[in-house]
Amino acid sequence: MRQLMLGNKALARGLYEGGCSIVSSYPGTPSTEVTEEAVKFEEIYCEWAPNEKVALETAFGASLAGKRSFCGMKHVGLNVAADPLFTCSYTGVNGGLIICVADDPAMHSSQNEQDSRHYAIAAKVPMLEPADSAETCEFAKAAYEISEEFDTPVIIRMCTRIAHSQSRPKVILPIVERTEAAILEKAAAFSSLCADCVEWRVDLFDAAADPGAVVRCLAKLRVLLKEKLLLVTLRTKEEGGSIPVSHEGYLRFLRTVLDTDCADLIDIEFFTAGADLPALVQDAHTAGVKVVCSSHDFHKTPPKAELVSRMVVMQQAGADLPKLAVMPQSRADVLELLAATAEMTDHHPETPVITMSMGALGAVSRLCGEAFGSAMTFANPGTASAPGQVGLDVVNAVLDSLRLS
């Protein structure tokens, strides 16, 4: 199943797929989450070392014993680990050894900048620099092969924007048709379009009140969409949807969807779920479904501090993708939303976020996600599900043109 991953999480996944046995790191933003994610794999032994020198010496020792190993640190940590870096460079390795150093251009969480490429040149070791999350995962596996073939440690250089973002935003296409036949016809057409995810707006389905009809349609959707991610959403009337739903009815719907094993992601409304949000998130995770926790305001744009605070609470409840959609009344409102998005990316990178400023005035926010940190964007494949959605061809063309790497 395809997944949205921060660069650090993708690196941890690459370590797992590459056969890493031992991780020894020293925490420091923006590198910390690599080890925090790696420890989730039972096959990898992970530990924090008292400093970067000890971390690298531990990983180097494991490599000499024939184990594929990893050591992670931030840019200034490589200064502390310089002694074992040069030693393992001229000594060579047995099991593959990856040293991840995360540089922090513009000093989002550091006191100084440093370009770790100079260390690779001085130590005469190869360095790989991934440009996005997908490359990060693949480069980790390739680094082990290079390390063992050429008897050398390999440095993977991350930076804040790669470590804490998903690079090019993923594109979501909404299905807003009312009958099962029309829904399935649209799904078949979407399966071959250049998009990453399809959202089924169940509240627009004529049979939304019939759990059996929803389950049957959902199963058929899963087959038709093939490898595309499927996001299932019941938008309540209070959040801009089509039908009024009681709190109990909303909870029943969510649990019905989770029981189907058909959804990759499920939308859970922040205010509708209320105090039940943490339990619902846990239920979703038990079912192997990621949670988009959403909040919509069709009248205004709250202040940046409120937007950030709301998304942080969503993170604390366990949501995988906090989502905010707000309505701007001025250009300043659009900037407020973008500033909140950037703050989440730079200072609360535990999860990706999805943000958008709605309407024609806010359309730019749907196209600049990579620069500000929104991980996904909705495109209009013919019928929009919200004001301000941009056509699919335009979205893809602009996202490609605005690539940061």
Active site residue 296: yes
Question: Of the listed 53, 220, 296, 348, which one is catalytic?
Answer: 296
Active site residue 9: no
Tokens of 235: 């938008």
Q: With CA atoms as reference, report the closest residue to 26 among 55, 63, 60.
A: 55
Q: With CA atoms as reference, report the closest residue to 235 among 261, 262, 200, 210.
A: 200
Q: Which amino acid is present at 99? A: I
Question: Of the listed 53, 124, 323, 347, which one is catalytic?
Answer: 323
The strand order across the sheet containing 170-175 reads: 354-357, 321-326, 290-297, 265-269, 229-233, 197-201, 170-175, 376-380, 390-391
Q: Which amino acid is present at 24? A: S
- CB of 301 closer than 8 Å to CB of 333: yes
Catalytic residue numbers?
296, 323
